[in-house]
Structures are given as structure tokens and as C-alpha cells.
Amino acid sequence: MSRFWSPIVRSLTPYVAGEQPAVPDLVKLNTNENPYGPSPRALAAIRDAATDGLRLYPDPTASQLRQAIAATHGIGSDQVFVGNGSDEVLAHAFAGLLKHDGPLLFPDVTYSFYPTWCGLYGIEHRAVPVDEALQVRVADFRQPCGAIILPNPNAPTGLALPLDGIEALLRDHPDQPVVIDEAYVDFGAESAVPLVARHPNLLVVQTFSKSRGLAGLRVGFAIGQRPLIEALERVRDSFNSYPTDRLALAGAVAAWEDRAWFETQRDRVVASRERLAGALRSLGFEVLPSAANFLFARHPAIPGEALAAGLRARAILVRRFARPRIQDHLRISIGTDAECDRLVAALRELTGAAPAA
């Protein structure tokens, strides 16, 4: 607290990101990064862009990247908005699209950045409880509201809604903006992008951080009809006109175009996820069916806090949220199979389970 702070700063509850400690030989399964990293073509493009050209500002509208994304989806590039990570794109959506008379609705168990942006921008909000299985129920969103945001698959549960559920939500709220945060969609959920043409109230947000292994580059994007994209552009140009730098744009274009690398690494993560889910179940864990690059699991007899501490003592980081309903769950990012094996060995010790035959 300082007398130099603006009043708003005193009232903020900042988001707490998963930690990034510099511990040697750490198994880092706490922030859903991709263990396989970016396409080599992306790295080459970034190197090629590291020239004297960096004295010039980047393309403020990221036109080449927008065209690449638009071509894949068969839409106009003016229906794509690019930002400095999808967190920035989402923040602009909160400022530009999600503040209305009536509360913004999101699930009670969801990405914990949402209430933080509500605090920053003064957005009234209401958490809609997920059901006993931690699944989002679209029918429970049928209530008066100003706007809706939800991740699909949801975080930190990894549970996905089918596309007809998303479409029902859009039909129930034709007069409210609905933002679908698809940070993890590539790992097993259906994208809502094909619904954009029919639903002027839909904004879909995706990122290069997870499925394209580029969390360090900070590139995210949104797809929607022109009026929604224009709102994001107006906020951007009132905040920072050059959100994505030259290196990021070069790397993101090359990563987007290397479809083969993307598919191969995604398939490896999905295969490891299913293998790890089986191993955890055999140790007695309850594991939610995940459509993401992480698992959400709890042990029926051992508190989550004890498990997380025991893993940490063995240099393995996972994420735990000290929040009602989910305090005993661990959110475990999918690492390499070797990392997953170390996790399983540690959990076998911590749960006192017998070694596998």
C-alpha cells in the first residue's frame, strides 16, 4: 500500500500465475506449457526477423498473421484480431464487450483471471455453479445477464461442452455478447469458430501458448463478426497500438503454417494424457475426462495440499487451487512421458500404493 497508488490499485485482486522457479531438474507440470516446444520453422523465422528491421515498429494490425488464420478458417481477415497473448485479447474483450447493465456470467469453477479483469474494469459479475461432476450446465446460464464468458474446454477441469451446448447458449442469449475462451480447444474439444458466421454475438479466443508451444512468444487471437472485432481494435488503439512485436509476428506466422508439426506434437500430448490418466486411476485417483493438455484429479483419501507439498519436496510442481469444491484437486499439465513417469512414481510413494506389477 502506498499513498502514490491510484484508488483502483488498492482495490485490485491481481491474478496469481503458476510459479516459474529456476530449480535444476524440476518437473514443471503447473502452467500447461507444451513439453515439445514450437515448430523449428517458427524458431528459424524468429531468427530471420532478428535484424536491423527491429528499429521499425511492427505491423500494428498483424495483417499477415490475420490472413494466415483467416485462410485456415475460410473467413475474412477482418474477422480476426491478434494480441499479445490471449490474456491481452481477453482483457480487451472484458473492457470492450463484456461490461453492460446486468452481470457478466461465468462458471464458479473456471479461469481465475476472469474475476480479476472484472475488478480492473469495474464489471459486475455472477458465478454460475458447475454441477456435482464439475460440468458446466448451459441451462443454468438461462438468466438475465449482460454478457457471458466461458472456456471450452473449461479450466481447470479440462471438461468440454459439445458444440450444440455452445450453440444453445448463443441462441438463449441473442442480445448478449458470448466469449468462448478456447485456450485448450486443440487438445480435444470442438471449436466454435464455425458458429461465428451464424451468431453475431459470438467471439472465439485462441492462443499460440498451449497447442503451438509458444507461451514465451505471447500471441493470441480472436475470431468474430466485424462489430465485435472492431470493439477490440478500438480498445487496442486506446491502449497499445503495437501489441505484437516483429519477432512474435514472424514466429506465429511460421508456427501457424507448420500444420504437420502442430498435429504431431498435439497427438503426442493427447496420447500421454490418456496414458497418465490410466496410471493415476490405477493409483486410486479420480480423474476427470480431459479435452485439454492437463488432467484434473483428486485422491479420495489424501488432501490435495499434502499431495502438492509432497510433490514439491520431490521437485515436481503441479497446480492446486485453494478454493471451495476443488481444494483437493491437482491440475497436472501433461509433460513428456518421462516427466509423467516421475510424477506417477512420486504419487505412488505419497499414496502408499504398491508398485505396478
Ligand X SMILES: *Cc1c(COP(=O)(O)O)cnc(C)c1O
Q: Name the residue nearer to ligand X (CB basis): 218 or 342.
A: 218
Q: Name the residue nearer to ligand X (CB basis): 42 or 155.
A: 155
Residues 229 and 173: their CA atoms lie apart, in Å, by 19
* Least distance to ligand X, CB of residue 183, Å: 4
Q: Name the residue nearer to ligand X (CB basis): 32 or 265.
A: 32
* Least distance to ligand X, CB of residue 331, Å: 10
CA 94 to chain centre: 15
β-pair partners for 346: none
* Least distance to ligand X, CB of residue 330, Å: 16
Residues 250 and 42: their CA atoms lie apart, in Å, by 7
In one-letter notation, the amino acid at residue 220 is G
By the criterion CB under 6 A, which residues form the site for ligand X?
Answer: 32, 85-87, 111, 151, 155, 181, 183, 207, 209, 215, 220
Q: Name the residue nearer to ligand X (CB basis): 88 or 258.
A: 88
Written as one string, the DSSP assignment of 148-217 is EEEESS-TTT-----HHHHHHHHHH-TTS-EEEE-TTGGGT---SGGGTTT-TTEEEEEESSSTTS-TTT
* Least distance to ligand X, CB of residue 155, Å: 4
Q: Name the residue nearer to ligand X (CB basis): 111 or 141.
A: 111
Cell numbers for 231, please give them: 470493439
Provide the 3-class DSSP secondary structure of residue 268: helix
* Least distance to ligand X, CB of residue 296, Å: 12
Task: Look at residues 288, 217, 250 and name the one whose alpha carbon lies nearest to residue 62.
Answer: 250
* Least distance to ligand X, CB of residue 281, Å: 24
Provide the 3-class DSSP secondary structure of residue 67: helix
Q: Name the residue nearer to ligand X (CB basis): 86 or 350.
A: 86
